[in-house]
Chains A and B, each alone.
Chain A
Amino acid sequence: MLRLLLVLTLAAGPAAADGLTADHARRLEHLVVQDCGSCHGLTRKGGLGSPLTAEALAHFEPEGIAMVILDGVPGTAMPPWRPLLSDEEALWIAEYLLKDDDK
């Protein structure tokens, strides 16, 4: 729990600094729920893709998660999202996944 709080605190910093507009953030959240949810589940407990709960991702750095989002995982069904998402957006999603654990 302490560790989770720590991650949360660390993750919250850069996200706030990035300053995506509220509308932009809402669109990204929608993408996570709906499009990531197709494979990872709406509640992110996994499906064809692995679980993406904050607990499941707790030992990853946000930058590492953002890299996986942008480049995909070759040899698996995880596609590279770089054609559709910017670096900043991928990092926002990584941080969102790490802190949002109450679903």
Chain B
Amino acid sequence: MTRLAALLLTLVLAAPAVAEPSYRATGDLGLIVERASGSLLVIDQSERAAIGRIEGLGDLSHASLVYSPDEHFAFVFGRDGALTKVDILSREIAGRVIQAGNSIGGAISDDGRLVAVANYEPGGVRVFDADTLEMVADIPTGSKTIGLVDIPGRRFVFSLWDAGETWIADLSSEEPRITRIAGIGKNPYDALVTGDGRTYIAGLFGEDGLTALDLWDDQPAPRRILPEYGRGQEDLPVYKMPHLEGWALAGDQFVLPAVGQHEVLWVDAGTLDEAGRTRTHGQPVFAMARPGGRHVWVNFAPPFNDTLQVIDTRTHAVIHQMTPGPAVLHMEFTARGTEVWVSVRDANRVDIYDTATFEKLGEIAAQSPSGIFFTARAHRMGL
């Protein structure tokens, strides 16, 4: 009853706004993580501009975020263990919990009801109600936990850095049900799931190769991919861990960053056999297929992190190279792949490029920008 009254009051209060529409849709909005200042820049894709800033989010180094299904809220996973829910329309913090000492990333369930966070300290996954941020499940793993993704059926998949295992947590009923899969390999550092929720690929830091799981199997068995990609070559020092995300599928092949090598690796998506390698400018951090899969854009670890390369997915040849500026950290494509937005951390700038002509279309000032996240991610599995 009080709720109804509150609703009526809201309607009354909102009434004057009807005369002069002030509503805004969220489909072309996004957020840029400003990692040093603990803030988020709200961006408008169509205007190619920043339209606001949300502050007070703590340590955002390596921060990532996911969106609610209605693209109204973002859930931000901070390095300091904070889970913050932000309202991207009012540009306010809608809720915040310090849920662990040190966390690395998170995911939202397919139905949008649950938000899961992967933690380093204490190692494990904690699951929260997306409305209230109350904890609904605590899944200790005894290991730094990485590569957390959502899959259909209110389930989450994640991997254990120390233990070399992948766990599937099913939260469709009251008590979480855990499926443990051993033998993933030494020190999985990140993982991805394909857009269909079927193939989970964990990258390994402690040995060459990656491990794939077919999540359509009841008890998925680890299958090693590219077990010898670095053989005969000495590993280079890794100044930045590569990232694996749901951008790896380009047509009928996966494109994956090699660890400790100046290469991206191509894998046949059907057979999981090697389909080629491309020599790159530096050690790849992100290898991201443009939506549609025609090209792959690659950025690099220090000291080569001022450069981007574009690779043709049919020929595996580098077709374009550019130097946006110091510390190119992240790229984000518009939903249909027409533009790519690039954070140039040490220039305090986000550049916008046309993906067909490679022409620079604009730039936005941002403080030490890292991750860029458009709301279209709300509707993609594994993002």
Contact = CB atoms under 8 A, between A and B. Distances in A.
B287 to A, nearest CB: 18
A83 B301 CA distance: 14
Interface of chain B: mostly helix, strand, loop or mixed: loop
Given A34-B368, A42-B79, A47 B36 contact: no
A42 to B, nearest CB: 4
B102 A34 contact: no
Contacts of A45: 59, 80, 101-102
Interface string A77-89: 1011101100000
A41 interface: yes
Nearest to A33: B36
Interface of chain A: mostly helix, strand, loop or mixed: loop
27 contacts: A34-B327, A34-B368, A35-B240, A35-B302, A38-B62, A39-B241, A41-B79, A41-B80, A42-B36, A42-B60, A43-B80, A45-B80, A45-B102, A47-B61, A47-B62, A47-B79, A47-B120, A48-B241, A77-B187, A77-B189, A77-B205, A77-B241, A79-B237, A79-B239, A81-B237, A84-B239, A84-B302
B143 to A, nearest CB: 12
Q: How many residues of A sit at the interface, in one of the four size bands?
A: 20 to 34
Contacts of A33: 36
A38 B61 contact: yes
B161 A42 contact: no
Nearest to B302: A35
A45 B100 CA distance: 12
B17 interface: no
Contact of A46 (B102, B161, B205): B102
B361 interface: no
Interface string B47-65: 0000000000001111000
Interface string B145-158: 00000000000000
B303 interface: yes
Interface in B131-190: 144, 161, 187, 189
Contacts of B161: 48
A1 to B, nearest CB: 23
B120 A46 contact: yes
Interface in A79-103: 79-81, 83-84
Contacts of B35: 42
A39 to B, nearest CB: 8
B9 interface: no
Interface in A47-91: 47-48, 72, 77, 79-81, 83-84
Nearest to B237: A79
Given A38-B62, A43-B80, A47-B104, A83 B345 contact: no
Contact of A84 (B303, B327, B346): B303
Contacts of B327: 34
A48 B144 contact: yes
A71 to B, nearest CB: 10
Interface string B265-294: 000000000000000000000000000000
A30 B345 CA distance: 11
A38 B240 contact: yes
Interface in A24-45: 30, 33-35, 37-39, 41-43, 45
Given A48-B144, A72-B237, A77-B241, A43 B368 contact: no
